Structure 1
Amino acid sequence: MGRTVLSMSVSLDGFAAGPDVTAEQPMGKGGERLHEWLFHGGEVDAAQARERYATTGAVVIGKRTFDVGVGLWQDVPFPVPCFVVTREPREPLTMNSGTFTFVSDGLHSTVSRARQAAGDRSVLIMGGPTTGQRFVKAGLVDEIVVQLVPVLLGAGVRLFDNLGTDHIELERTAAVESPNVTHLTFSVLT
């Protein structure tokens, strides 16, 4: 079985989204800067993205990320099953490259369903920061991948706020640098 991986781009001051997230500004004010490496990075960054795509068998996102992103994506963000954490039951939404399945019975159920769909590939938790926090706090993440972007956003939603006071030990397993971003990978130790 694959790993459950939280992967997110963050500013040097820890923000994974800028302030004022809306459908018009899905990454918040200034937040689009966090993903420039994906679209305008060099070969090092492209190789990191290819590796992430190649090892992903299912994706998990939060309802807010779905609401602000689906109009931009016009499809599933990866051509794999995508699970949306929500409180509102809803029928699956089939798109050209896959299906959004809405899971309203908790984080454990979401991970279980995503792992089943992913088979021996990884489950990627990719959005947004509040959803990522919830999975880390619940102990459901095996690996954290942070793309550290050289910018200070100053405000927004931090990736690692609201985790509680429990100590979470990590082991760095990779660090790959490019002029655009530093890709850091950590195993979550139990």
Structure 2
Amino acid sequence: MTRIVADISVSLDGFVTGPDPGPADGLGTGGEALHHWAFSDDPRDRRVLREATARSGAVVLGRRLFDVVDGPNGWSDATGYGAGEVGRPAFIVLTGAPPRAVRLNDLDWTFVTTGLRDAVAIARRRAEAASSDSGTDLDVVLMGGGATVGSALDAGLVDSLTLHLAPVVLGAGTPLLTGRAPRTLVQRDVVPTSTATHLTYDVVRA
């Protein structure tokens, strides 16, 4: 069965970027520490990343995050989706208007201008089709940014939440859960590593 999985790295004080994020520095000041785990040699980190990439039937991201990953300092052959793990799911971008050009034109991009629910619905159809083709249950992964993940939680669209809790205090930046609607979570898995604590929760539907 295809699930909607929100998967994002976060600091100890609840930020998914450092201060002043932008297209040239998508994670903001100090924010690169949030993703040290994704490039770690710790076998537990590698397993978490490999399993997350393998389950990705389609990936949803917001326009600001797209502009970062598709920008000149964004994804490359070494630092693409899954940080070097093999994974080429469909990418669904929630946006007000499609971009005029795409640098990463070897990836499967769909731009949705009609809202988050439509983006998730399209991603679910793509993930279900990929599941049928592969004979494996694949999920929709909401990779960010923080506003997209938070809005999906508020809208009751998320089945599972995975947080990669980095051992860093950023002090400011883009908050993940501040000001969000109350949600009940059921803890399902905790994987502590040398660079992060990987937390997985089921999201209880209201």
Q: Which TM-score band (shorter chain)?
A: over 0.9
> Is the contact made by 2:2 and 2:140 (CA closer than 8 Å) also made in structure 1?
yes
2:110 corresponds in structure 1 to 101
1:7 counterpart SS class: strand
> Is the contact made by 2:59 and 2:91 (CA closer than 8 Å) also made in structure 1?
yes
Take 1:47 and 1:138, find their aligned partners in 2: how far apart are those partners? 30
1:134 corresponds in structure 2 to 151
> Is the contact made by 1:63 and 1:86 (CA closer than 8 Å) also made in structure 2?
yes
2:44 corresponds in structure 1 to 44
2:17 corresponds in structure 1 to 17
1:111 corresponds in structure 2 to 120
Flag structure 2 segments of 5+ consecutive residues without an equivalent. 82-86, 129-136
Is 1:174 aligned with 2:184?
no
1:91 is displaced (CA, Å) by: 7.9
Deviation track 1:141-162 (CA, whole Å, cap 9, x = no partner) reads: 0000001111101110111123
Take 1:41 and 1:153, find their aligned partners in 2: how far apart are those partners? 24
1:135 is displaced (CA, Å) by: 0.6
Take 2:101 and 2:33, find their aligned partners in 1: how far apart are those partners? 31
Flag structure 1 segments of 5+ consecutive residues without an equivalent. none
Take 2:44 and 2:99, find their aligned partners in 1: how far apart are those partners? 39
Give the one of 146, 162, 166 matched to 2:163. Answer: 146
Residues 1:7 and 1:28: Cα distance change in structure 2 (over 3 Å): same
The alignment's C-alpha RMSD in Å is: 1.8
1:152 counterpart SS class: coil
1:73 counterpart SS class: coil
2:88 counterpart SS class: coil
How many residues are paired up?
187
Deviation track 1:92-145 (CA, whole Å, cap 9, x = no partner) reads: 95722x311110111111111000001141100001111111111111000000
Is 1:183 aligned with 2:193?
no
**TM-score (normalised: structure 1):** 0.92
> Is the contact made by 1:11 and 1:34 (CA closer than 8 Å) also made in structure 2?
yes
1:40 is displaced (CA, Å) by: 2.4
Give the one of 155, 158, 167 matched to 2:175. Answer: 158
Counterparts in 2 of 1:40-79, with a 5 A limit?
A: 40-71=40-71, 72-74=74-76, 77=81, 78-79=87-88
Take 2:159 and 2:100, find their aligned partners in 1: how far apart are those partners? 29
2:35 counterpart SS class: helix
